[in-house]
Structure 1
Amino acid sequence: MSDQRGVAIVRWPGRFPSAEGGPAALLAAYHLSTEAEKGAAVAGVDELPERYRAEVSDPRSVFVDDVVLVAMSGDTAVGCLVVTAPADGRSEIKRLWTDPAFRGRGVASGLLDAALARASEDGVVTVRLSVWRWRTEAVALYERFGFTVTESWDARDQLVCMERAV
């Protein structure tokens, strides 16, 4: 799909034989980190809330109608992002995660570029996302991409809702 400083952004499942070869480990890291940041650290994937365990164990089924993008450095998955199926001219970006060892190399920007291009191809008018307030680097990244804070559609405390036109 695209190449960002030696990292290719591809649609999953594509060339991947299994979830383990793609987003599963990245989704696990994302959810475990998020739970810890919320003050609800868990020892492993088996202790995550059911809906998050399902994403890790069977992303193909959970995201069957969505587009899953994976950033690859060689044969290693180093980032992921989910773009939900369009509904009423809108899609949502979810689960943006970059392996900490690959941060600062444009992986997240490459994933966002690819997600916005995909949304445009699908005729999406508005893309939205939610991000935890304490993830200031992510909030700044989204703002650089033209996302602005909007009225919340999710009542969880500390969650910032953002959107932008495609």
Structure 2
Amino acid sequence: MTDQPEVVVVRWPGRSPSDEGGLAELLAAYHLRTEAEKGEAVAGVDGLPDRYRAEILDPRTAFGGDVVLVALSGDTAMGCLVVTAPVGGRAELKRLWTDPACRGRGIASGLVGAALAHAAENGVETVGLSVWTWRTGVIALYERLGFTVTESWDERDQLVCMERAL
């Protein structure tokens, strides 16, 4: 038996501005790790490409038309996921990240489940995502949650595109 606090997934930005710090930290960790995995490691947020730095510095603007889900334990942000605004019955999942110290607790699957429920509530028929080939653990998670590999819609090398019908 464990005494781990309950993790709650909230739709952000419906929370107070104080929650932006936790989201910004999660996004920074995600982007810094991704750049390192691509062989383009940078020392800090200032070294990230402008588009990624903008997400970290001003997520409300960067994801203005999207829904950001944040997994919280108390006031601590433990994970995040962006669900893009639907276009033509389709939405995309982006920026799935769980704080490495919090992994193994079902946070990522909880975020994806909440994202799928949100998409279905908003008339989305298909949810897509792209993931780097070396992220085999998250690819396996997506497959367990019903996503299948599909033809790529992204020109970048080493990117796997996946979809799931709702």
TM-score range, shorter chain: over 0.9
Partner residue, 1:140: 140
Report the Cα distance in structure 2 between the residues aligned to 1:128 and 1:103, rounded to whole angstroms.
23
Give the 4+ runs in structure 1 shifted more than 6 A. none
Report the Cα distance in structure 1 between the residues aligned to 2:40 and 2:21, rounded to whole angstroms.
28
Instruction: Report the number of matched residues.
Output: 162
Give the Å deviation of 1:19.
5.6
Give the Å deviation of 1:158.
0.5
Report the Cα distance in structure 1 between the residues aligned to 2:143 and 2:89, rounded to whole angstroms.
21
Contact 1:16–1:22 at 8 Å: present in 2 too? no
Q: TM-score, normalised by structure 1?
A: 0.95
Partner residue, 2:99: 99
Q: TM-score, normalised by structure 2?
A: 0.95
Bigger drift between 7-16 and 40-49 goes to: 7-16
Contact 1:83–1:94 at 8 Å: present in 2 too? yes
Residue-by-residue CA offset, 1:54-86 (whole Å, 9 max, x unaligned): 000000001000000000011100100000000
Partner residue, 1:21: 21
Instruction: Compute the RMSD of aligned alpha carbons.
Output: 1.0
Partner residue, 1:50: 50
Letter paired with 2:80: C
Report the Cα distance in structure 2 between the residues aligned to 1:18 and 1:92, rounded to whole angstroms.
27
Residue-by-residue CA offset, 1:82-137 (whole Å, 9 max, x unaligned): 00000000000000000000000000011001000000000000000000000000
Contact 1:19–1:58 at 8 Å: present in 2 too? no
Structure 1 counterpart SS, 2:29? helix
Give the Å deviation of 1:18.
3.9
Partner residue, 1:59: 59
Report the Cα distance in structure 2 between the residues aligned to 1:158 and 1:81, rounded to whole angstroms.
21
Unaligned runs of 5+ in 1: none
Partner residue, 2:117: 117
Report the Cα distance in structure 1 between the residues aligned to 2:156 and 2:109, rounded to whole angstroms.
26
Report the Cα distance in structure 2 between the residues aligned to 1:16 and 1:32, rounded to whole angstroms.
26
Partner residue, 2:77: 77
- Greater helix fraction, Structure 1 or Structure 2: 2
Contact 1:19–1:60 at 8 Å: present in 2 too? no
Report the Cα distance in structure 1 between the residues aligned to 2:152 and 2:159, rounded to whole angstroms.
8
Give the Å deviation of 1:15.
2.2
Structure 2 counterpart SS, 1:23? helix
Q: Percent identity?
A: 75
Report the Cα distance in structure 1 between the residues aligned to 2:155 and 2:19, rounded to whole angstroms.
31
Letter paired with 1:163: E
